[in-house]
Homo-oligomer: A and B are copies of this chain.
């Protein structure tokens, strides 16, 4: 039986985050000691590991909920899980494309900086005047 602290350590999660997952019903209510402290077993350890690993791969908590649900039904066809993963992949690819455009633009800004007065700063100039910017970037945080 694991305390919340050791479960946290094993999964690289903060204690508060585990309690938060319980609150939003992503993790089940665990057993308690007489004094009221949470105690966890292997099932919970597995579930939390799954959640954390999915988070590291960028899945939203809602997507994780779906994935967990699919995992609970081993005989159902798996194309749904596949679809969720593909969606995630698409999103990651979109983000990469966007960040690469930003990298290009920031690189240009930084390399054109003469190191003089702020009045002549290319960095500030580019930010001031979008037309001095070669990149097409419309969405924020996409």
Segment of A20-28, A34-42, A67-75 engaged in the interface with chain B: A67-75
**Is A78 interfacial (CB-CB < 8 Å)?**
yes
**Is A95 interfacial (CB-CB < 8 Å)?**
yes
- Complex CA–CA separation, A77 to B118 (angstroms): 6
11 residue pairs A–B, Cβ–Cβ below 8 Å: A49-B128, A49-B130, A56-B138, A57-B102, A58-B102, A70-B121, A77-B118, A78-B116, A81-B121, A81-B124, A93-B103
A92 and B106 within 8 A (CB): yes
Given A50-B128, A71-B128, does the pair A123, B89 have CB atoms closer than 8 Å?
no
- Complex CA–CA separation, A106 to B120 (angstroms): 45
B121 and A82 within 8 A (CB): yes
A interface, size bucket: 35 or more
Q: Type the 1/0 row for A99-118, where 1 means its CB is closer than 8 Å to any CB of B.
A: 11011011101100111111
Which residues on the B side are within 8 Å of A88 (C-beta)? 106
Residue of B with least CB distance to A121:
B78
Which residues on the B side are within 8 Å of A124 (C-beta)? 67, 70-71, 78, 81
Among A103, A118, A133, A141, find the residue whose CB has the most chain B CB atoms closer than 10 A: A118
